[in-house]
Chains A and B, each alone.
Chain A
């Protein structure tokens, strides 16, 4: 069933045509020379319609997705996307409107946007939400631009540093650098929290803010979050909350209540809108009142019984064309309305319970980086006793043979041989048990027959990929000569 599918170029036969074009109806004319491509067009596949359809259908069936199996990618929150979202998003009043339509003709869509803003603000303890950013990273970008605008507006122009704990998402320091700040890394203490001594040593009059992912990428809730916020605020800095892991604390902790001034929400993680290539995404942002004037626009307000859009007075500007990825608002709104407040809390409780169920069932075999109750994800280490030749990569590849998508590996980088598992609340106990059994079986094989792991995967359409050569000598278009040269090397 899962056989190798060659590239479409290798299915080509010279002269074969997939579609018959109608007669032009006008005389054929030579194209002007400057419009002709001078590279060799030979190599475009010549193939029939049936072959094209079969080729791409077969490839689509090779996809591993959340609709076909467990996909426990730590930090990425690959949870099931309920199909009712698609029904809601396809309702004509949502699907067949145009972003340039007059406001009075799209009141329903604006009402949904307004209510989603208010719901997200309520869940997180903030005063104003803007749904415009198209992804989490863009939400971060908006937040750090807002921090800069706030400081400059007050004439405070000496703040050129952003603090990032080394347990932060990789996008945090990237965002700070992109906005033009110097990134200052803060260490992690022995319990996986922000190292307060290191923070105190590095915070100061140059601190624009601190970006904290809480729960962090170690899957741990920072026990000192109040103290961290106090230290940063006393130095005049602001607290940015990366909401990528918000799905662990819904209805339990409001980031706005524990010291955060601004945060982004990943609707595609926490609120089950489609993820990655299935996007587009929404990295909504929320903030305290004193920052609301700097938010990007447009934001929907209710005025005299009419929903209208406005852009805040001192806005950092627009981040996204038109009105944001509205289809995502509909899906997230549907999810939240289906679950209600109690249901959302239950989502987080089950996400945390599932991760801890995996932790206590696996921590005797795979050491845990930080031995304490975790949140929605657990970081193990691929260091199996009695199997010195086996590494995390081998374990991950062997999981493919057991029918599971491998978890996130070698991240967070602060943990050696890390395996970061996020089962999400959408996996049943039966699935979790099957995953535990597979991990136990792999540990057994690692000791008794490590060659099974080194050779994995053996049941996938292709075997172990040569990632090093792919990165060192990338061939980015189908080029038989280049491939042959590489293979002969």
Chain B
């Protein structure tokens, strides 16, 4: 079964968000990495770029497919995980830890994010599809 830490928030596009003050760390969920399979390439934006909620800010490529990653909130990129670019397997091995992707400083209070319980329910429905 998928691992969904209760202290994080989620999106229906399978990103997770960890909010700390006015910065948010973003990655893809355990469920997302298991669906993608072995991740072989991660493309992340330059620090300083700004994104609107729902806008694609990068891509994750696995042996099966290329997937966009979407900004869960509006804001600017303050840091990206360079390690994951050199070692994309971190996304599979530790999606909520060393496999984080980018940190955003948000411009407006995030809204519409799912709680862990709601996300768990959502992926259950997805898996049954």
A residues near B (Cβ < 8 Å) are 410-411, 413, 416, 467-468, 471-472
Min CB gap B1→A, angstroms: 12
Min CB gap B65→A, angstroms: 5
Asked whether, in the complex, the Cβ of A471 is within 8 Å of the Cβ of B41, the reply is yes
Asked, given contacts A410-B64, A410-B65, A413-B65, whether A471 binds B129 with beta carbons under 8 Å apart, the answer is no
Asked whether, in the complex, the Cβ of A467 is within 8 Å of the Cβ of B63, the reply is yes
Residues in A neighbouring B37, C-beta threshold 8 A = 468
Asked whether, in the complex, the Cβ of B38 is within 8 Å of the Cβ of A467, the reply is yes
Min CB gap B54→A, angstroms: 13
> In the bound complex, how far is the Cα of B65 from the Cα of A411, in angstroms?
8
Min CB gap A465→B, angstroms: 10
> In the bound complex, how far is the Cα of B41 from the Cα of A467, in angstroms?
12
Min CB gap B10→A, angstroms: 19
Residues in B neighbouring A416, C-beta threshold 8 A = 35, 129
Asked whether, in the complex, the Cβ of B129 is within 8 Å of the Cβ of A472, the reply is no
In the complex, B99 has a CB within 8 A of chain A:
no
Residues in A neighbouring B64, C-beta threshold 8 A = 410, 413
* A–B complex contacts, Cβ < 8 Å, 9 sampled: A413-B64, A413-B65, A416-B129, A467-B38, A467-B63, A468-B89, A471-B38, A472-B88, A472-B89
* CB-CB contacts below 8 Å: B94-120 with A: none
> In the bound complex, how far is the Cα of B41 from the Cα of A472, in angstroms?
7
Chain B: interface residue total (CB-CB under 8 A): 12
Residues in A neighbouring B40, C-beta threshold 8 A = 468, 471-472
The 4 closest A-B pairs by CB, nearest first: A468-B38, A471-B40, A410-B64, A467-B63
Residues in A neighbouring B41, C-beta threshold 8 A = 471-472
> In the bound complex, how far is the Cα of B60 from the Cα of A42, in angstroms?
38
Residues in A neighbouring B63, C-beta threshold 8 A = 467-468, 471
Residue of A nearest to B68 (CB): A185
Residue of A nearest to B89 (CB): A472
Residues in A neighbouring B89, C-beta threshold 8 A = 468, 472
B residues near A (Cβ < 8 Å) are 35, 37-38, 40-41, 61, 63-65, 88-89, 129
> In the bound complex, how far is the Cα of B88 from the Cα of A416, in angstroms?
23
Residue of A nearest to B62 (CB): A468
> In the bound complex, how far is the Cα of B41 from the Cα of A410, in angstroms?
17
Residues in A neighbouring B65, C-beta threshold 8 A = 410-411, 413
> In the bound complex, how far is the Cα of B45 from the Cα of A214, in angstroms?
35
Residue of B nearest to A466 (CB): B38
> In the bound complex, how far is the Cα of B66 from the Cα of A410, in angstroms?
11
Residues in B neighbouring A410, C-beta threshold 8 A = 64-65
Residue of A nearest to B66 (CB): A413
> In the bound complex, how far is the Cα of B129 from the Cα of A416, in angstroms?
9
Given A416-B129, A468-B40, A472-B89, 12 additional A-B pairs, CB 8 A: A410-B65, A411-B65, A413-B65, A416-B35, A467-B63, A468-B38, A468-B63, A468-B89, A471-B38, A472-B40, A472-B41, A472-B88
> In the bound complex, how far is the Cα of B35 from the Cα of A472, in angstroms?
18
> In the bound complex, how far is the Cα of B128 from the Cα of A416, in angstroms?
11
> In the bound complex, how far is the Cα of B38 from the Cα of A468, in angstroms?
6
Residue of A nearest to B129 (CB): A416
Min CB gap B12→A, angstroms: 14
Residue of A nearest to B88 (CB): A472
Residue of B nearest to A413 (CB): B65
> In the bound complex, how far is the Cα of B61 from the Cα of A468, in angstroms?
11
Min CB gap B56→A, angstroms: 11
Min CB gap B103→A, angstroms: 24
> In the bound complex, how far is the Cα of B64 from the Cα of A413, in angstroms?
9
Min CB gap B74→A, angstroms: 19
Residues in B neighbouring A471, C-beta threshold 8 A = 38, 40-41, 61, 63
Residues in B neighbouring A411, C-beta threshold 8 A = 65
Residues in B neighbouring A467, C-beta threshold 8 A = 38, 63
> In the bound complex, how far is the Cα of B63 from the Cα of A185, in angstroms?
23
Residues in B neighbouring A468, C-beta threshold 8 A = 37-38, 40, 63, 89
Min CB gap B15→A, angstroms: 18
